[in-house]
């Protein structure tokens, strides 16, 4: 994110790209803060689930394995192609981090301390493809829905609502392009589904499946070794 920030094109020379959603919806003030409020609510719901679930450590391991895989893919995509700034109001993108490793390290700590959230005072640019906020919203929603009882329909409905409203607010704030949000939702949901198909089946015990599994989730066998099926 630190390197991608300094690779953002000059806003004065390269305007925002054409986008079917952003071109037709005006910027809504404080919409991004509303998206992060949705993320915070889902995070609290996830930790409540962790506290009461008897397989909390299994859930934790799966969460970090999936979110780690998703954000590794995100690091590759944001470094591969740098999109122009999606909103003209994002004037902080003109501020560069600097070339020295000390300046870059300070910026990394700055992002880490604020959990990458604007409500903590963190503002980043260049990390557009794909949306990290949408990825976090989606993975938290999927974990809450997967590991709560089917009888708790209200919680699951609320979780999905927070996921989709959060994604809408990200776009309404003009903080990401529409494709950033769509790709984030798709990659995160497919990674979650793929991991759990493996975790809930015996296919992973076959040699070919083990090789394919290792390529996607190198620590899968270690995390799932003692899980009862």
30 is catalytic: no
Q: Taking the mean position of all CA atoms in its chain, how far away is CA 139? A: 7
Dist CA 15 CA 72 (whole Å): 28
Active site residue 55: no
Catalytically annotated residue among 133, 174, 196, 204: 133
Catalytic residue among 107, 174, 180, 204: 180
- Among residues 5, 107, 174, 176, which one is catalytic? 176
Is there a contact between 68 and 192 (Cβ–Cβ < 8 Å)? no
CA 142 to chain CA centroid, Å, is 12
Q: Which tokens hold the place of 108?
A: 């990394």
176 is catalytic: yes
Nearest to 93 by CA among 82, 105, 108: 82
Tens of pLDDT, residue by residue, the chain (229 residues) = 667 777 777 777 888 899 999 999 999 988 999 999 999 999 999 999 999 998 888 898 899 989 998 999 998 998 888 888 888 777 766 666 666 777 778 777 877 777 777 777 777 777 888 899 999 999 999 999 999 988 889 999 999 999 999 999 999 999 999 999 999 999 999 999 988 888 777 555 555 555 556 566 666 666 666 665 5
């Amino acid at each position: 994110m630190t390197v991608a920030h300094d690779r953002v094109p000059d806003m004065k020379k390269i305007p925002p790209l054409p986008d079917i959603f952003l071109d037709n919806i005006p910027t809504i003030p404080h919409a991004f803060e509303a998206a992060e409020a949705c993320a915070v609510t889902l995070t609290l719901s996830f930790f409540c689930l962790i506290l009461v679930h008897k397989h909390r450590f299994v859930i934790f391991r799966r969460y970090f394995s999936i979110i780690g895989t998703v954000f590794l893919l995100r690091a590759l995509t944001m470094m591969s192609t740098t999109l122009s700034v999606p909103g003209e109001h994002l004037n902080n993108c003109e501020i560069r981090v600097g070339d020295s490793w000390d300046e870059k390290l300070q910026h990394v700590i700055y992002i880490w301390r604020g959990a990458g959230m604007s409500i903590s005072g963190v503002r980043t640019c260049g990390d557009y493809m794909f949306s990290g906020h949408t990825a976090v919203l989606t993975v938290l929603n999927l974990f809450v829905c997967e590991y709560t009882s089917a009888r708790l329909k209200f919680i699951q409905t609320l979780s999905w609502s927070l996921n989709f409203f959060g994604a809408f607010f990200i776009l309404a704030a003009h903080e990401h392009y529409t494709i950033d949000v769509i790709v984030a939702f798709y990659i995160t949901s497919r990674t979650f589904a793929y991991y759990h198909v493996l975790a809930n089946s015996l296919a992973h015990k076959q040699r070919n499946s083990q090789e394919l599994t290792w390529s996607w989730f190198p620590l899968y066998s270690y995390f799932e070794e003692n899980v009862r099926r």
